[in-house]
């Protein structure tokens, strides 16, 4: 300390320290920041997950997801029209199936007229230009909320795979463009590919939920599709342990070998490292699912005035692009598309 009681600073000037390299030069104005921008978020990057409800003229709030609704099929069609007008390339549908149609084995997935298939037909008829992505997991259809058939406390793999493959064919017959199995059973991608090809659906693609982690961030989704109160136990025997990154790569490699056209990482933001590893390793179309809990956190903090929700939304989605994503499933899709237009 010197006489003035202030700590001594170093003897080198900033230019000596940096060697004259000043990264702030390009940040000094909006135009120069724009020029050096490495990543952009476009409407073409968005997939909009929407929830379906039984009935007609129904639009039900999802409490844990402010701004998100469950739509009956007729209103889902209106939303598909809106999405197409906004330039959103595709929708992903998730049904809230009536309790009376759920059972131990999720058999309603084999009903050609179940909620998800009716919605696909109606959307493709009214808005053929929008892509429809359907999930073939059993959880919306099971009385216990698991993604597979539950027998003596065990989620049985091979029987589940057979049923999912059949369900996938029905979804393709209803008009689904991409089948996206979210169940994480072993061998499902190959089985779905075989089943689709065997029934003349060579052009229907598969987006594999290749790396789906056993995560706490799915909470609000389970409220949205009505499985929250049903689920006994957890999904750790089929989803990936959040600590594992090499295993996520092995899953991805396996799904690609079995015929996945595109792969997805889920949840999104806490797993950006996985996205980057997958993109660098396989160079395949790579997507992320910004899941319900991620959406809810941003909305809740914004509602409390703790963060700027709109900026946080854009920043979170840009982060996916920077990490290597080709696109993102996000509940923010219409809001973002609207904002990108302005
Ligand atoms: C299950 C499924 C989940 C989500 C979509 N399909 C996870 C789960 O309930 O275990 C989560 C989506 C989200 O949280 O936004 N097949």
Residue among 92, 138, 266 to mutate when testing ligand 1 (max atoms within 8 A of CB): 266
pLDDT (tens digit per residue) in 222-256: 888 888 888 888 999 999 999 999 999 999 999 99
| Whole-number pLDDT of residue 3 | 63
Please report which confidence band the pLDDT of residue 1 belongs to, taking 50, 70 and 90 as the band edges: low
- Residue 2 scores a pLDDT above 70: no
Nearest atom within ligand 1 for CA of residue 227: 9
Nearest atom within ligand 1 for CA of residue 220: 14
pLDDT (tens digit per residue) in 304-316: 999 999 999 999 9
pLDDT (tens digit per residue) in 19-46: 999 999 999 999 999 999 999 999 999 9
Q: Whose CA is nearest to atom 2 of ligand 1?
A: 182
Q: How far is the CA of 14 from the centre of ligand 1 (A)?
A: 51
CB 162, CB 205: distance < 8 Å: no
Three-state SS at 182: coil
Q: How far is the CA of 182 from the centre of ligand 1 (A)?
A: 7
Mean pLDDT within 143-165: 95
pLDDT (tens digit per residue) in 191-228: 999 999 999 999 999 999 999 999 999 999 988 888 88
pTM for the full model? 0.95
Catalytic residues: 212, 266
- Residue 91 scores a pLDDT above 70: yes
Q: Could you tell me what percent of the chain has a pLDDT over 90?
A: 93
> Could you write out the three-class secondary structure of 155-221?
EEHHHHHHHHHHHHHHHHHHCCCEEECCCCCCCHHHHHHHHHHHCCCCCCEEEEEEEEECCHHHHHH
Mean pLDDT within 123-140: 97
Residues sharing a CB contact under 8 Å with residue 46, sequence separation 6 or more, in sequence order? 88, 89, 327, 328, 330, 333, 336, 337
Ligand 1 is surrounded, with C-beta below 6 A, by 135, 137, 139, 147, 182-183, 218, 221-222, 235, 291-292
Q: Could you give the CA distance from residue 297 to residue 219 in angstroms, rounded to a whole number?
A: 11
Owner of token pair 């990936």? 240
| Whole-number pLDDT of residue 6 | 84
- Residue 12 scores a pLDDT above 80: yes
Q: How far is the CA of 215 from the centre of ligand 1 (A)?
A: 9
Q: Which domains does the chain have, with CATH numbers?
A: 41-341 (3.20.20.70)
Three-state SS at 156: strand
Q: Could you give the CA distance from residue 66 to residue 18 in angstroms, rounded to a whole number?
A: 47
Nearest atom within ligand 1 for CA of residue 225: 9
- Residue 160 scores a pLDDT above 90: yes
| Whole-number pLDDT of residue 217 | 97
Q: How far is CA 76 from CA 54, 55, 182, 204, in A?
A: 11, 11, 22, 22
Q: What is the mean pLDDT of the chain?
A: 96
Residue among 48, 51, 138, 147 to mutate when testing ligand 1 (max atoms within 8 A of CB): 147
Q: How far is the CA of 214 from the centre of ligand 1 (A)?
A: 10
In the 8-state DSSP scheme, what is residue 241? P
């Amino acid at each position: 300390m010197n006489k003035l009681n202030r700590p001594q600073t170093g003897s080198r000037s900033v230019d000596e320290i940096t060697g004259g390299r000043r990264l702030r030069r390009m940040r000094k104005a909006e135009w120069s920041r724009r020029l050096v921008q490495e990543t952009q978020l476009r409407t073409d990057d968005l997939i909009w997950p929407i929830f379906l409800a039984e009935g007609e003229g129904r639009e039900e709030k999802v409490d844990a997801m402010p701004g998100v609704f469950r739509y009956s099929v007729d209103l889902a069609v209106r939303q598909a029209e809106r999405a197409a007008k906004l330039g959103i390339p595709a929708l992903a549908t998730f049904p809230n199936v009536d309790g009376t149609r759920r059972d131990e084995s999720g058999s309603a997935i084999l009903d050609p007229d179940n909620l998800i298939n009716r919605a696909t037909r109606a959307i493709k008829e009214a808005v053929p230009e929008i892509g429809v992505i359907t999930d073939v997991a059993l959880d919306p259809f099971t009385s216990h909320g698991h993604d597979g058939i539950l027998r003596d406390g065990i989620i049985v793999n091979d029987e589940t795979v057979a049923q999912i493959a059949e369900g996938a064919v029905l979804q393709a017959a209803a008009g689904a463009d991409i089948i996206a199995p979210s169940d994480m059973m072993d061998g499902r991608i190959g089985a779905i590919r075989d089943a689709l090809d065997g029934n003349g659906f060579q052009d229907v693609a598969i987006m594999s939920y290749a790396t789906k982690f056993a995560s706490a961030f799915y909470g609000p989704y389970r409220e949205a599709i009505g499985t929250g109160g049903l689920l006994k136990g957890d999904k750790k025997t089929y989803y990936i342990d959040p600590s594992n990154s090499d295993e996520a790569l092995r899953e991805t490699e396996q799904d690609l070998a079995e015929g996945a056209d595109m792969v997805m990482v889920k949840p999104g933001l806490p797993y950006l490292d996985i996205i980057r590893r997958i993109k660098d390793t396989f160079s395949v179309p790579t997507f992320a699912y910004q899941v319900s809990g991620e959406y809810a956190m941003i909305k809740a903090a914004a509602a409390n005035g703790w963060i700027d929700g709109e900026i946080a939304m854009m920043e979170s989605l840009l982060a996916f692009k920077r990490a290597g994503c080709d696109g993102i499933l996000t509940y923010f899709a219409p809001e973002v598309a609207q904002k990108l237009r302005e």
